[in-house]
């Protein structure tokens, strides 16, 4: 990793006339903004399909491979001849500063139907090649989506037994009955990956590397559980025997109960971790680097019995991390990965990170909860091989934290560290300067902190379903004045 800096901004947060950010015009304008400010990295959240039932959380998805077609750009569909300009102009008006997911999904479904109606009339060799190259996941994903609609959104475990258990004759009957819906879903995936590939190429040509986010677990109600039940701890009805979470700690007396089915690592090992290698390879085609979420779960996971109401009665279960990461690093460069090592990290996890050369994360917001002299997140204690953030998508903004969460003692530690008192309207850029001037190879700043926004711009409040993942930047935010300000601090601290 070269010394540099970048911005954390998810695609849905981009400006757009279509109710949620997408891979269209404003994604390219944001890439131009980054290039003009001499940024090296653009970090986004997972791009997999989201669900209104789970608050459109990008970490809860029906697929580990498919793309979120909500991010497909209507503008680019017009340019490609799949839509008419008038069809796009007739869309409803949307809020400028928030994602209106319900309306966006409804409007885009109508556009997708129009586009597919035109596309299906012509043979497309690029589409056919895409289907062949992604055969290991695409067909089953499209069938899974079609079946979910056919069964009125019921969870996989509530499907008819012959479909749930993938009996060949029943699956073939379903493919025949739902053929048109299946082909439509495959077309939409082709459209997503085509648009994303062009954006990635554009960014790379401007010297910008894309950092993706790889959640460790998949959802119980996902095509992976249906397609590969042998990989997970499930009973005969495809219900989890045990689920993932984290134990009680400083932040929660009952821990966190995530509910994702846990992997049978012994079964995965027997296959040479084939599914994981396919998943990582697929993601490294989309991104230049990957942040591995909940890295410590690859060393030991917190196993909670199914049906438990909290994570208190879980237990640590070790994983053969050395064998897994040996295989991973034989297939991909270790420099492709960033380990999300936040929270309580034990020596065995640090040992694995050090052995394979995975850089970890540091979050400046966490540095002032206690004395900073020996705090690992205080800038003077950073090492070069790490990625430092002012905050993440799960934290308040710096200004929001300072004005609404920081205790008087924490504020005093901030003032002492800076050498002077500061106000809420300047604290974001004080934090930005601290991480920019640090020795850490990579400094990443959420766009909300670059804009100096408060709690109203927070992306996510963990443990809640309502009101998350909705914040959006406005067109006027990407101003020449902001480019100059970000460029100045980037050049000053040798990150350009």
β-partners of residue 338 are 291
Under 8 Å CB-to-CB from 355, ≥6 apart: which residues? 322, 325
Dist CA 288 CA 203 (whole Å): 11
Identify the active-site residue in 22, 75, 293, 303: 293
What are the structure tokens assigned to 208, written together? 């910008």
213 in active site: no
Identify the active-site residue in 394, 403, 410, 430: 394
293 in active site: yes
What are the structure tokens assigned to 259, written together? 């509910």
Query: Cα torsion for 189, 192, 198, 200, to the nearest 10°?
Result: -100
Dist CA 50 CA 46 (whole Å): 10
Q: Are 394 and 460 in contact (CB under 8 A)?
A: yes
What are the structure tokens assigned to 448, written together? 């909300």
| 377-389 burial code (b ≥16 CB/10 A, e <16) | bbbeebeebbbbb
Alpha-carbon distance values, 290 to 7, 164, 213, 321 (Å): 15, 32, 6, 18
Using the Cα atoms of residue 46, residue 52, residue 53 and residue 54 in order, give the sign of their dihedral: positive
Q: Are 409 and 370 in contact (CB under 8 A)?
A: no
Identify the active-site residue in 340, 341, 441, 449: 340
> Given the DSSP bridges, would you call strands 256-261 and 242-246 parallel, antiparallel or unpaired?
antiparallel
Q: Which residue has the tokens 């479904």?
A: 109
Dist CA 496 CA 490 (whole Å): 5
394 in active site: yes
- Catalytic residue annotation: 293, 340, 394
């Amino acid at each position: 990793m070269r010394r540099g800096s970048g911005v954390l901004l998810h695609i849905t947060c981009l400006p757009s006339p279509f109710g949620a950010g997408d891979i269209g015009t404003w994604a390219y304008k944001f890439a131009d903004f980054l290039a003009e400010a001499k940024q090296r990295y653009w970090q986004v959240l997972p791009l997999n399909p989201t669900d209104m039932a789970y608050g459109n959380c990008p970490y809860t998805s029906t697929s580990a491979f498919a793309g979120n077609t909500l991010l497909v750009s209507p503008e680019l569909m017009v340019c490609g001849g799949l839509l008419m300009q008038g069809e796009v102009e007739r869309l409803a008006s949307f809020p400028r500063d928030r994602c209106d997911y319900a309306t966006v999904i409804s409007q885009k479904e109508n556009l997708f139907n129009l586009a597919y109606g035109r596309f299906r009339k012509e043979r497309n060799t690029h589409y056919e090649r895409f289907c062949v190259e992604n055969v290991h996941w695409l067909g089953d994903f499209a069938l899974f989506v079609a079946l979910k609609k056919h069964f009125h959104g019921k969870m996989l475990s509530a499907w008819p037994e012959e479909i749930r258990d993938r009996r060949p004759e029943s699956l073939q009957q379903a493919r025949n009955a739902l053929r048109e819906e299946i082909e439509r879903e495959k077309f939409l995936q082709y459209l997503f990956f085509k648009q994303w590939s062009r954006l990635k190429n554009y960014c790379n040509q401007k010297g910008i590397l894309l950092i993706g986010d790889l959640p460790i677990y998949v959802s119980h109600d996902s095509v992976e559980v249906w397609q590969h039940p042998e990989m997970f701890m499930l009973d005969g009805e495809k219900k989890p025997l045990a689920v993932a979470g984290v134990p009680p700690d400083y932040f929660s007396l009952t821990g966190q109960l995530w509910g994702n089915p846990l992997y049978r690592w012994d079964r995965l090992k027997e296959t040479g971790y084939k599914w994981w290698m396919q998943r990582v390879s697929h993601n490294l085609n989309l991104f230049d680097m990957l942040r591995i979420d909940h890295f410590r779960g690859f060393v030991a996971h917190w196993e909670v019995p199914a049906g438990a109401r909290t994570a208190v009665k879980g237990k640590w279960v070790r994983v053969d991390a050395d064998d897994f990461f040996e295989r991973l690093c034989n297939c991909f460069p270790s420099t492709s990965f960033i380990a999300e090592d936040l929270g309580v990290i034990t020596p065995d996890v640090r040992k694995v990170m050090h052995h394979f050369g995975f850089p970890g994360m540091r979050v400046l917001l966490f540095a002032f909860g206690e004395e900073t002299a020996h705090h690992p997140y205080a800038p003077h204690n950073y090492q070069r091989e790490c990625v430092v953030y002012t905050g993440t998508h799960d934290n308040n903004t710096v200004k929001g934290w300072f004005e609404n969460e920081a205790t008087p003692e924490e504020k005093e530690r901030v003032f002492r560290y800076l050498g002077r008192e500061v106000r809420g309207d300047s604290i974001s850029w004080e934090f930005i300067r601290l991480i920019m001037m640090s020795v850490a190879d990579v400094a990443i700043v959420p766009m909300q902190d670059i804009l100096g926004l408060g709690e109203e711009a927070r992306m996510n409040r963990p443990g809640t379903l309502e009101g998350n993942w909705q914040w959006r930047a406005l067109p006027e935010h990407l101003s020449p004045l902001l480019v100059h300000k970000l460029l100045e601090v980037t050049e000053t601290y040798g990150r350009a």
